[in-house]
Structure 1
C-alpha cells in the first residue's frame, strides 16, 4: 500500500485537521484531461485575443469542473512567464483577477466591482504609483490606495479605466462572471453588457470571464458583443465517451491515493460509477465530496475510506438530477449537432436560392421581366422584318 500513497508518510502522525488540510490544499490540484485542454486554450486566447473583446470560459454549475482552479493556474503561469518583464517595467501588471460578487439584493453593484478591481490592480509589489484626482479616491503617505465611501460610481469607473490603461494587463480576469446578471431583468442585463463593452472599448483591455452556462444567455441579449466574444468550453466527463470514463477513473484513483490514510481506499474499480453519478462527471464536485468523506473517516479514526463514508456524504439524488439537467442543457447550447449544422446550411442556402430566383426573374440584368418573361430585346424586330399589320383582301384592293 505504501507505494500507492501520494502524500508524505509523516502526515500519518499529524493531527486529523492537518491531514485534511493537506488533501484540501489548492496546490495539490491535478491537471487532467478537460481542464488541461481548456488551460492551454485560455492561455493562447489571452496572449493573442485576435480581436476578441471578451473571452468566456464556461462549464457546469459553480464548484463543478474547476473554473476557479483553472483561473488560478492561468494567473500563476502568466505571472511566472512575465517576471523578467515586470522587473524591467515595475508599472506593468500582466493579469488582473477579480471576482464578480453576487448581489445580496437588487442587481449587480458596479460600484463594488470597480472598487475591487482598483484594489486588485494596486499590486503592493509595484513601486510606481497611480495618481487619482477623483473625489473620494486618493493615496495615503505610504502610497496605499484609499477608496472612501463618498466616491461615486462614475469616479470609480473612470479610475478603474485609467488604472487598466496605465497597467496594460493582458486581460482583466473575472471569476463568477455569471453573477453580473443575477436578479437582472432583460433590460438591466442589456445595460450590464453595454457597460462591459464600453469599458473594453475605452481601455482596449479584453475581459476573461469564468462562469457557468448562464453566460450563453448574456450573448443572446447582446449580438454585437457576441460577435466579439470567444467561447472556451470546460466540460464535465461524459459516460458516452470511453476516453472520458478512463480519465475520470484515473483522476478518482489519484485523489484517493492522496488521502493521508494508512490504507489507500480500494474504491475505484467497484464504485467509480457511483462516484460518477453523484458528481455527474465534474471533478470539482467530486473533490468537494471526497473532502467531506475524508473528514468523516478521520473523525471516526478509520484506517481507510469506505463506501459507507461516501454514501453518508453524497449529494441527494434529486440534487444530482437537477445538476445533470442544467449541465446537459448548457452542453447542448455549445455543441455543434447535426441538426444545428443542417439549420445553418438551410439558412444560408435559402439566401442563395432567393438571389438565384431574383436573377432568374430579372433575366440576369437586375430588372424585372414583362410579358411572361420575354425581355424587351427579344421583342425587337429583326432587320427587314415588317411590323405586324392586317393585309388587304383581294376584294378590298379592287
Structure 2
C-alpha cells in the first residue's frame, strides 16, 4: 500500500540503502509519452518485421534505450509464457550487450560467447547439444565455453542455437559499440557479418544504440534497404507538449522518492532540471538517484536545490550531450532540402517539367484550333480516310 507520496510507508523506517534501491529499481521507471510510443513501435516491429533484417532503435545517450529494451523483453516473455510451457525449447527473445572493445576493434568471439550463454540460460533440462570444439556442458548441464574455442566454431554454435530456439529477435544493447575504433573497411566487414548471420538463421536483430548507428547504414546500402529505424527522442523546448510531458515525468519521479516530504521543485526549477538532462528522462532519473543518495546520507527530510546542484552534470558535459543529440536529430529529420534532393535523384523534378511543357504545348494547339484538339489516329493499311459519300439522285437514267 503506497502513501500519498507514492511509496510503501514502511520504507521510511528502513535503511538509506533500501530506500535508494527502491527508487532506482528498473520497475520504478516512469512510462512517459516518448517511451510509451517507442515501446509500442518496437513490440510491433519485433512481432512483425515486415521484411526487415535489422530493427535499429536509436536516440541520444541517456534517453532510456536500455530501459526500453528491458520493458520490451519483460512484456514479450509475459505474453509468451503459455506457448513456452507447451514448447520448452522455444525462447521468444534473446538479449545480449555488445561490449565495447578495450583496444583494437569489436571482438566477435566475445559477442558469440555472450550470446550463447544468453540463449542457454533458461530451461536447463531442455538444453540443446553442441558438438563444436571447445564448447561443452558440465555435470549440471551448464554451458561451458573453453578458451580454445575458435571464433568460427562459436559463430556456428550461435547460429545453430538461434535456429533451434527460434526467438522473435536477437536484441543487442549498446549496438553502436560494434563500430567503435573501426576503420571504414572493418566497419563494412562488421555489417557483412551481421547480414550473413541474419541470412543464415532467419532471425532478425534489434539493435539499441545512439545516433552513431546511422553511420552503419551509410556504409552498408544492402543492410540499409533491409533496416527499420525506430526513434526514441528526447523532449524538446520547441514543443509545448514536450515541456508539459517533461514536467509531468519530473513530478512523478519526485513523487516516488521515499522521503518524509515530497520535493516541491518543479514549478520554480524545471528549467534547471531540463538544462542538466537536455530533456532525456534516463539522464534525469540517474541524476535524481545521485541527489537522493546525497539527501539520505545527510538525513534530510526532502530533496533540495543544493542536493541537485552538487550532483548535476557539468555544463561542458551537457553542451557536448546537446550537440550530439541535435546532430543526430538533424540526420534523422526529413528536411525540405532532403526531400528536394530525393526528388532530384529520382528525376521527379525533370519529369514534372516535361509534363508541364507537354500540357503547355497542348494548350497552344487547342487555342489555335478554336479550342478543339485534333488528334491523329493511326489506321490500318488499306483503310480509307473518313469522308461523306454522295447521295443518289431521285431521277434515274433510262
Calculate the TM-score normalised by the size of structure 2.
0.86
Residue in structure 2 matched with residue 295 of structure 1 by the alignment: 293
2:251, 2:88 → 1: CA distance? 44
Alignment size in residue pairs: 355
1:147, 1:212 → 2: CA distance? 31
Residue in structure 2 matched with residue 43 of structure 1 by the alignment: 43
2:16, 2:138 → 1: CA distance? 44
Q: Is the CA contact 1:23–1:259 (under 8 Å) kept in the aligned structure 2?
A: yes
1:85, 1:288 → 2: CA distance? 37
Residue in structure 2 matched with residue 364 of structure 1 by the alignment: none
Of the structure 1 ranges 338-347 and 300-309, higher mean CA displacement relative to structure 2 is found in 338-347
Q: Is the CA contact 1:67–1:210 (under 8 Å) kept in the aligned structure 2?
A: yes
Provide structure 1 residue ranges, at least 5 long, that are not aligned to the other structure: 361-398
- Are the structure 2 counterparts of residues 126 and 87 from structure 1 closer, same or farther at C-alpha, using a change threshold of 3 Å? farther
The CA deviation at 1:126 is 4.8
1:58, 1:260 → 2: CA distance? 32
2:350, 2:147 → 1: CA distance? 59
Deviations 1:140-183 (A, max 9, x none): 33322111100000000000000000000000000000000011
Residue in structure 2 matched with residue 253 of structure 1 by the alignment: 251
Q: Secondary structure at the match of 2:172?
A: strand
2:345, 2:134 → 1: CA distance? 54
Q: Secondary structure at the match of 1:93?
A: coil
Q: Is the CA contact 1:91–1:126 (under 8 Å) kept in the aligned structure 2?
A: no
Residue in structure 1 matched with residue 126 of structure 2 by the alignment: 128
1:288, 1:156 → 2: CA distance? 36
Q: Secondary structure at the match of 1:333?
A: helix
Matched, 1:52 2:84: no
Q: Secondary structure at the match of 1:127?
A: helix
Q: Is the CA contact 1:86–1:92 (under 8 Å) kept in the aligned structure 2?
A: yes
The CA deviation at 1:351 is 7.3
Counterparts in 2 of 1:158-237, with a 5 A limit? Answer: 158-237=156-235
1:4, 1:267 → 2: CA distance? 17
The CA deviation at 1:104 is 0.5
Q: Secondary structure at the match of 1:138?
A: strand
- Are the structure 2 counterparts of residues 34 and 351 from structure 1 closer, same or farther at C-alpha, using a change threshold of 3 Å? same
The CA deviation at 1:355 is 11
The CA deviation at 1:96 is 0.3
1:354, 1:243 → 2: CA distance? 39
Matched, 1:304 2:313: no
2:353, 2:115 → 1: CA distance? 51
Residue in structure 1 matched with residue 6 of structure 2 by the alignment: 6
Q: Is the CA contact 1:60–1:235 (under 8 Å) kept in the aligned structure 2?
A: yes
1:253, 1:354 → 2: CA distance? 53
Matched, 1:326 2:316: no
What is the RMSD computed on CA atoms of the aligned residues?
A: 1.7
Matched, 1:29 2:29: yes
Deviations 1:213-248 (A, max 9, x none): 000001000000000000000000000011100000
1:354, 1:258 → 2: CA distance? 59
Residue in structure 2 matched with residue 285 of structure 1 by the alignment: 283
- Are the structure 2 counterparts of residues 35 and 354 from structure 1 closer, same or farther at C-alpha, using a change threshold of 3 Å? closer
Of the structure 1 ranges 2-11 and 130-139, higher mean CA displacement relative to structure 2 is found in 2-11
- Are the structure 2 counterparts of residues 111 and 3 from structure 1 closer, same or farther at C-alpha, using a change threshold of 3 Å? closer
The CA deviation at 1:132 is 1.2
Q: Is the CA contact 2:99–2:177 (under 8 Å) kept in the aligned structure 1?
A: yes
The CA deviation at 1:134 is 1.1
Q: Is the CA contact 2:343–2:349 (under 8 Å) kept in the aligned structure 1?
A: no
Q: Is the CA contact 1:71–1:210 (under 8 Å) kept in the aligned structure 2?
A: yes
Q: Is the CA contact 2:124–2:141 (under 8 Å) kept in the aligned structure 1?
A: no
1:341, 1:356 → 2: CA distance? 20
Provide structure 2 residue ranges, at least 5 long, that are not aligned to the other structure: 359-398
Counterparts in 2 of 1:81-92, with a 5 A limit? Answer: 81-92=79-90
The CA deviation at 1:341 is 1.7
Q: Is the CA contact 2:278–2:318 (under 8 Å) kept in the aligned structure 1?
A: yes
| Equivalent in 95, 98, 119 of residue 97 of structure 1 | 95
Q: Is the CA contact 2:169–2:206 (under 8 Å) kept in the aligned structure 1?
A: yes
Matched, 1:74 2:72: yes
The CA deviation at 1:353 is 4.1
